[in-house]
Amino acid sequence: MAVVFEKTELLTDLPMHYCPGCTHGIIHRIVAEALDELGIGKTAVGVAPVGCAVFAYDYFNCDMMEAAHGRAPAVATGIKRVCPDKCVFTYQGDGDLASIGTAEIVHAATRGEKITAIFVNNAIYGMTGGQMAPTTLPGQVTTTSPNGRDVEHCGYPVPMCEMLATLSGSAYIQRVSVHDVKHVKAAKKAIKNAFAAQMENKGFTMIEVLSTCPTNWGLSPLEAVQWLKDNMIPAYPLGVFKGAEA
């Protein structure tokens, strides 16, 4: 019988712990496929964050290290300096990358560290139960912004792609989304571009993926996808911010 579909080798068979309708799972899948298709998956080293993706080391079927909250880019730096020929990537949420770990991501980027950060932006702290994230939209209700994020009081969402693209060390920066099939395909292509740029030693690479958190947004999976499309994309425009699309 002809094989019409095969699960990528780079994901283990463990059932994922993500909530129904959460797009973390899709992002894992396209990261794994991208690595596999480039032929660099088996020898890649990944760094898992603190956040909902904390168990990423169980799912990505390659060498993995679990980092402290926000420190994944520093851990990846240590690995990459020891293993310069290997593909080294981090997988981080918005609290992890854009709040507690801002220094680590900014300096990895400015050093032109030859790693790839997969930055999952769901505008909320998923794992700890829906608190305000640095990426939470103005007016968005969370458990620590019960009346909606008041920018007068706690400031504005952080546009990481726009920020990091200004740094000389960054080589490829793109924001993508996974709210429909077309965008999932584009996201996978972007991730492949980033990994390829890393392997060509071009510099720091990051793909920001807009993602859903139906559980903490208080929406059904379908509503969540719609909310992402209607609210996040206008606030976080998709596109390539640095480097040329392959």
Partner 1 sequence: MKKLMKGNEAIAEAAVKAGCRYFFGYPITPQNEIPEYMSRRLPEVGGCFLQAESELAAINMVYGAGGAGARVMTSSSSPGISLKQEGISYLAGAEVPCVIVNIMRGGPGLGGIQPAQSDYYQATRGGGHGDYRTCVLAPASVQEAVDLTQLAFDIADRYRNPVMVLGDGMIGQMMEPVDMDKSYRPAVDLADKIWAANGHIPTPGRPRSIINSLFIDPKVLERHCERLDAKYKKIAESECRWQEEMLENAELVVVAYGTTSRVVRSAIRKCRQQGLRVGLLRPITLFPFPTEAIRNTLGTAKCYLAVEMSAGQMVDDVRLAVNGERPVHFYGRMGGMVPTVAEIMDEIRKYATPYQKTPAEIALDSAIDEKFQSVTDAVGHILQRTRKKMKATGSGK
Closest by CA position to 91, among listed 124, 42, 45, 159: 45
Other Cβ atoms within 10 Å of 223 Cβ, number: 14
Residue 67 interacts with which of ligand TPP, partner 1, ligand SF4, none, CB < 5 to 8 Å by class: partner 1
Decide whether 40 or 132 has the Cβ nearer to ligand TPP: 132
Q: Is 102 in the site for ligand TPP (CB under 6 A)?
A: no
Q: Which of 11, 48, 118, 133 binds ligand TPP (CB under 6 A)?
A: 133
Shortest gap between Cβ of 33 and ligand SF4 (angstroms)?
20
Cβ pair 170, 12 in contact under 8 A: no
3-class SS string, 216-227: HHCCCHHHHHHH
Dihedral pair phi/psi, residue 58, rounded to 5°: -80, -25
Per-residue contact track with ligand TPP, 65 to 84, x per CB under 6 A?
Answer: ----x---------------
Subset of 49-108 contacting ligand SF4 (CB under 6 A): 52
Dihedral pair phi/psi, residue 144, rounded to 5°: -110, 5
Cβ pair 211, 175 in contact under 8 A: no
Instruction: Provide the CB-side half-sphere exposure for 14 (13 A, CA).
Output: 15
Span interacting with ligand TPP, options 30-38, 119-127, 172-180, 221-229, rule CB under 6 A: 119-127
Shortest gap between Cβ of 83 and ligand SF4 (angstroms)?
30
Positions that interact with partner 1 (CB under 8 A): 42-45, 47-48, 54-55, 57-58, 61-68, 71, 74-83, 86-88, 103-104, 106-107, 111
